[in-house]
Amino acid sequence: MRPQDFSSGAVATKGAISIRNVTKIYDPDGAQVMAVDNCSMDIAPGEVCMIVGPSGCGKTTLLNAIAGFHSITEGEIILDGVTLCSPKQPLAGQSADRIVVFQNGALFPWKTLAENVAYGPMVQRRWPKAECLERARTALKEAGLGAVVDKYPGEVSSGMARRAEIVRALINDPKVLLLDEPYRAMDALTKQIMHEALLEMYDRTKVTIYFITHDLEEAIFLGDKVYVMTTRPCRVKKVIDINLPRPRDYTTLTTEAFRLLVKEADEAVHEEALKAFKAGEREMA
């Protein structure tokens, strides 16, 4: 059913993220809220890094800092040797080497899927406009969306829209793909299809992935490493290496190794979830 011919995918050469002692303090109305506390991570090029933690723990704060949406208070974030942000320059510049796929989807509803995908290369003047559109169509076709290239996002299912959004990101050949719970609102069956599609795209591009999720099985199925975060302020509680062989497909979900990893992660997560629940913190993100 699934020929295993994409093991010869691309080799990762870029996208090493180093998060060093990052602290973020929000200051709404003088009430200092520490969202991230002295957090450090090293993400290797082409690594699929899954971030798991209680709601509102500050995972998204880190993602926003990498993407350049929010500033940081202390520490620094380095991408391939270039400092993105540090106390000297707390807000990273936004650029197409780090692309976010949003929780609720952010395909422009006023552009067709092809126009959406072509948008990045077009504004960056990568290729002439017609070529951008042509390549966008090809990329969508490769992702199994050939039949809906000229539809508007409002006309396709959320699964297709989310997949098109990942295509829109990958066509720019980014160093890092930042995903903020992209499959949160999907049912289990759609999610599984989305996971396999994402893995397939990953195997082709070997882009570094920073993926925030609540779903442990999702984290272990997709990831090379699972970072379990503490409740707010956010720190790394535990790093779990996922040594399941790639390429993975849904049969992986039923293996013994997979079950053991889920159990291991579950214990760590449960403890933090309990703490967060007891703290009675309202969900922020």
Partner 1 sequence: MSAIAHESYAADTRPAGSRQPTGFGMVLYRAKKSFGSPTPYLMMFGIGLWLFAYWLLCEALSLPRFEKIPGPITILTDWLSASPNQGTSIYTPDYYQHIYVSCRRILVAFLLATALGVPLGLLMGWSRKVKEYTFPLFETLRPIPIMAWVPLAILMFAGYETPVIFLATLASFFATTLNTMLGVQSIDESYFRAAGCLGSRKRDVFWHVVVPGAMPYIFTGLQISIGVAWFSLVAAEMVSGDYGLGYLILSSYVNSVTVPMVIGMLTLGFVGWFSSAIVRFIGDRLMQWHVKALAMQGR
Q: Does 123 contact partner 1 by CB under 8 A?
A: yes
Q: Which is nearer to partner 1, 48 or 148 (CB)?
A: 148
Considering the rule CB under 8 A, would residue 139 count as an interface residue with partner 1?
A: no
Contact call for residue 200 and partner 1 (CB under 8 A): yes
- Give the full edge-to-edge strand order of the sheet including 176-180: 98-101, 176-180, 208-213, 48-52, 225-229, 236-241
Binding mask 92-121 for partner 1 (x = CB under 8 A): --xxx-xxx-x-x-xxxxxxx------xx-
CB of 164 to partner 1, least distance (A): 11
Which is closer to partner 1, CB of 18 or CB of 103? 103
**Count of residues of this chain found to bind partner 1 when the rule CB under 8 A is applied:** 46
The residues with which 229 forms a beta bridge, in sequence order, are: 236
By beta-carbon proximity to partner 1, the closer residue of 63 and 220 is 63
Closer of 160 and 229 to partner 1 (Cβ)? 160
Q: Which residues bind partner 1 (CB under 8 A)?
A: 1-3, 5-6, 67-69, 94-96, 98-100, 102, 104, 106-112, 119-120, 123-124, 142-148, 152-155, 160, 168-169, 172, 193, 196-197, 200
